[in-house]
Structure 1
Amino acid sequence: MNYNQADGLQGEGGSGAEEDMLIFAEEDPAVPEAAEPGRERWEVLIIDDEQQVHQVTKLVLGDFAFDGKKLAFYSAYSAAEGKALIAAHPNAALVLLDVVMEHDSAGLEVVQYIREELLNSAVRIILRTGQPGQAPEQSVIMNYDINDYKEKTELTSQKLFTTVVTALRSYRDIKVIEKSRTGLEEIIKSSPRLFEVQSMRRFASGVLTQLTSIVRVHQDALHCSFAVTRGQEDIFILAASGEYESMRGRRARDVVPPAVITSIEEAFLRKQTVYGGDDITIYFQSKMGMENVIYMNSVASLTEWDRYMVEIYCANVSVAFENIYLNEELESTQREIIYTLGEITENRSRETGHHVKRVAEYSRLLALKYGLSEEEADIIHLASPMHDVGKVGIPDAILNKPGSLTEDEFEVMKTHASLGYDMLKHSHKQVLHAAAIIAQQHHEKYDGSGYPLGRSGEDIHIYGRITAIADVFDALCSDRVYKKAWELERVLDLLVREKGRHFDPRLVDLFMENLHEILAIKNQYSESAAEAAT
């Protein structure tokens, strides 16, 4: 397969004379053409068993550029080398492939390897053959997934130039479509997750992750919220990634670099997205007026389509933010109602008003130390204040009796566990369902001697076991109508003695191991602290 400038790659109007033939030095096929540092290039693989084909192709296309990028050439001289080369360069844009190498159909085997084994449908494959009779064009085009077929004798420099431009344009458009499809998939996959998160900060962190994934930018990003606290306007960092990660939860003006905070403040001031040279500050606002910006750097390569996807994504995120905010407002209202109901019960029985708050905090702490998830710990924190809600059905004469209860009176008092369960059991809401369990089981004992069900060990729901120790500890540490508060040492001695009898042994150990945190809660919600606050 003689293939030189005279009979294959001649310039338009070239003479093809013997003296026009070029002689080239040997080259290292493994080393690509030198690329400028930091400049991206189109990867072109030349797979041909003729050394001169590689040399002439590189000569003709040496100064070629498309979309501002030059070519980086990689060479292979057999089908076996070609397979290894394409496997090592999955982002190659173009393969210039000979048909006849080790054998008559070697190049066609490479085509099948690329399409069927590597499943690479993006790279453009141009077959170049000096022996068209070995691989007829019509047959090859119909049976193999190639993009062009050229006889080497017809390839002038201009035709090669045109062929490469057409192939690269096609490859570029395919990659744009693939990236757009991937971004759309990320948006679709992220949609349900956006509504699963329970807190604004976790949600904001998820938004950052999804957005940087969609546009494939550097992971350095900030998600800031504009808020008014104590009459002053401020910008807070809800979420951060990359080099900004340590800034999460802080005031933006305290930690963000001056150039970045300037972009963020400008977006808030103009109430619109601000595009810089290498950064973008995305502004979005909910219907309720909640203002947020997302700052990302290293985005100089964003296309118009990328920017459009970002804007669409953030428009949907603003709706999700509003829903999360409304959900948090609803949860806050529910929490206040639950605390209020718990306090009404405690006040009716003339017990301390902060008892339910302390039990809630103790229960949440123990739940986390026990290994329950944040979500479950939050549930028990919300539900445990309802543990004694059944006392609303106990007569005042028994509920507020200053002395010891008779046996019959105690039997009536014990019914508050079942009464509370009956009041709450019909709800399908997660928190109220948990509250029903707690109301029913917080007087069960680990050894089975408790009431109303006489359950033992781990047959008692973990919510009930946790609330039991929290309730007893706080009750013994507080004044009641029928007793004075016990000293701390006496209370702790009782907890240890009742380990494995009244209380779950593991929970007693966790309680004692984390006593400093328990006592901090006790002091924070003490009656004296409450009086000082008012």
Structure 2
Amino acid sequence: MAIAIVDDTPLNLTLIQALVRKLTPPGTEIVTFSSPLEGLQWCGSHEPDLVIVDYMMPDLNGIEFIETVRKLYPADTVPILMVTAAHEKEVRYESLAAGANDFLTKPIDRHEFDPRVRTMLSLRASHQRMRTWNDDLQAAVILKTAEIVTREQETITRLARAAEFRDPETGAHILRMAHYSQIIARDLGLDAETCERILTAAPMHDIGKVGTPDNILLKPGRLTPEEMVIMRQHPRIGHDILKGSSSPMIQMAAEIALTHHEKYDGSGYPDGLAGDAIPLVGRIVAVADVFDALTSPRPYKPAWELDTAFNFIREGRGSHFDPACVDSFLGLIPEVLEIRERFKDE
């Protein structure tokens, strides 16, 4: 505990300090100030558990003192007792209006002083318990929220792994393209939470391929026009699998699944969206996914050289890809190469 007593009369300070000492446990810090300005300075750097302040003082009267303290601490946090003469009724009313919790009259009567101070200290203790309870509750909410996010991440990871079992693309592909997506998002100025969400949601981009027949999905050669129509259904299938979730992460994954094959000039699929009509996360993942697909071997093609793949991304600026996403990606080539090295194919 820390209790501040402010009174310009030394005798009053000594008396009140002695009375308080008898009511408080050992170790209680009782500080006294004959100057209200010094008392205010102390209150500004130490949150008191109780303030006892006289009304008539030089430089700053008790009402002004209370008004200033209340700017630091609301009335329901730090209790304040005002000491006034018995005849100063108007001062008492003003002190209560200024934020005092109670008042004492001079000369101080111990039988009045003791219960009033006990009440103020009890009020402070109740507030501290409530503050602790609120802190504990907030910590519990943070913990439970983290658990929910972890479960969501696990769900997404397991769904992505399910798609891997049917898709010739490797698990390293979804790790690389997810990290490419995250650094593009960060470079575009998206907040940290959104960037982290993109990292987790991007691996779900091709979950719809679980609905693509094996003879098309695993075909080693070029698809026929009829087969291509079926293959191009996977964005909508993926969206249908993921849509309707209350989770922001899975909502983003559904949006990515539906839109990552759209092209900036409107020639993509499944809806032929163009420009800003394509959600930003879809435009980001489009760059990351295409680059990694080009630089990875597939049953129907060898891996492209890095320079060739970077040139393809550069040439698709404004047609296939969002110019801002391309500019960010090409400005991050050292990080792209580091990610590629970190998540090599087995």
In structure 2, what is the Cα distance between the partners aligned to 1:41 and 1:424? Answer: 60
With the length of structure 1 as denominator, give the TM-score of the two structures.
Answer: 0.51
Q: Which consecutive unaligned segments of at least 5 residues does structure 1 have?
A: 1-38, 46-53, 100-106, 128-159, 198-320
Give the counterpart letter for 2:61 in structure 1: L
AA aligned to 1:65 is A
Native 8 Å contact 1:44 1:94 kept in 2: no
Whether the 8 Å CA contact 2:161–2:171 is kept in 1: the answer is: no
Q: Give the structure with the larger strand fraction.
A: 1
Query: Secondary structure of the residue that 1:480 maps to in structure 2?
Result: coil
Higher relative contact order (CA 8 A, sep 6+): 2
Q: Compute the displacement of 1:511 (Å).
A: 1.3
With over 3 angstroms needed to count, the CA separation of the structure-2 counterparts of 1:376 and 1:325, relative to structure 1, is closer
The verdict on how the C-alpha distance between 1:437 and 1:328 changes in structure 2, with shifts beyond 3 A counting, is closer
Match of 2:239 in 1: 421
Distance 1:74 1:435, change over 3 A: closer
CA shift in 2, pair 1:71/1:475, >3 Å? closer
Distance 1:454 1:357, change over 3 A: same
SS of 1:401's partner is: coil
CA distance in 2, matches of 1:377, 1:74: 54
2:331 maps to what in 1?
Answer: 513
The 3 A distance-change label for structure 1 pair 89 and 333 is: same
Please give the alpha-carbon distance, in whole angstroms, between the structure 1 residues aligned to 2:174 and 2:251.
18
**Secondary structure of 1:125 counterpart:** strand
For 2:42, the equivalent position in structure 1 comes to none
1:71 and 1:488, CA in 2 relative to 1: closer, same or farther beyond 3 A? Answer: closer
Q: Which residue of 1 aligns with 2:83?
A: 95
Does the 8 Å contact 2:153/2:200 carry over to 1?
Answer: no
Q: Which structure has the highest helix share of the two? A: 2
> Which consecutive unaligned segments of at least 5 residues does structure 2 have?
22-29, 37-54, 70-79
How far has the Cα of 1:189 moved from its partner? 4.3
1:444 paired with 2:262, answer yes
- The match for 2:314 among 493, 496, 503 is 496
1:451-490, aligned counterparts within 5 Å?
A: 451-490=269-308
Letter in 1 for 2:311: D
TM-score by length of 2: 0.75
Residues 81 and 101, structure 2, Cα contact 8 Å, conserved in 1:
no
Give 2:163's aligned residue: 342
Once the 2 structures are TM-superposed, how far is the Cα of residue 450 of structure 1 from its aligned partner?
0.8
Q: Does residue 43 of the first structure (1) align with residue 6 of the second (2)?
A: yes
Identity of aligned residues (%): 31
Name the amino acid aligned to 1:125: L
RMSD: 3.3
Residue number in structure 2 paired with 1:177:
122
- Structure 1 equivalent of residue 77 of structure 2: none
Distance change (3 Å), C-alpha of 1:192 and 1:441: farther
Moved over 6 A (4+): 79-83
Aligned partners of 2:81 and 2:100 also within 8 Å: no
Q: Report the equivalent of 1:65.
A: 18
C-alpha distance 339-195 of structure 1, shift in aligned 2 (>3 A): farther
Report how many aligned residue pairs link the two structures: 307
Q: Does 1:113 align with 2:58?
A: no
From the superposition, tell whether residues 173 and 397 of structure 1 become closer, same or farther in structure 2 (CA, over 3 Å). same
CA shift, 1:82, in A, is 7.7
Q: Distance in 1 between matches of 2:255 and 2:318?
A: 21
* Aligned-pair CA distance for 1:170: 3.7
What is the CA deviation profile of residues 113-143 of structure 1, one whole-angstrom value per residue up to 9, with x for unaligned ones? 2112x12123x2315xxxxxxxxxxxxxxxx
Shift of 1:484: 1.4
Q: Secondary structure at the match of 2:233?
A: helix
User: In 1, distance between residues paired with 2:12 and 2:270?
Assistant: 92
Deviation at 1:59, TM superposition (A): 8.3
After TM superposition, the structure 1 = structure 2 runs for residues 230-269 of structure 1, keeping only pairs within 5 Å, are none
> Following the alignment from structure 2 to structure 1, what is the Cα–Cα distance between the partners of residues 109 and 304?
89
Change (3 A) 1:189 1:94: same
8 Å contact 1:94–1:168 — kept in the other structure?
A: no
Secondary structure of 2:104 counterpart: strand
User: What SS is found at the alignment partner of 2:61?
Assistant: helix
Aligned residue type for 2:96:
R
Deviations 1:384-422 (A, max 9, x none): 212112223323333233333332332222122222222
Amino acid at match of 1:86: G
SS at 2:232 equivalent: helix
Cα separation, 1, equivalents of 2:127 and 2:12: 37
Q: Is residue 82–residue 95 contact of structure 2 (8 Å, CA) maintained in 1?
A: no
How far, CA to CA, are the matches of 1:60 and 1:360 in structure 2? 68
Structure 1 residues 126 and 80: CA distance shift in structure 2, 3 A:
closer
Shift of 1:472: 0.4
Q: Does 1:333 align with 2:154?
A: yes
Partners of 1:83 and 1:113 within 8 A in 2:
no
Q: Distance in 2 between the 1:439 and 1:384 partners? A: 8
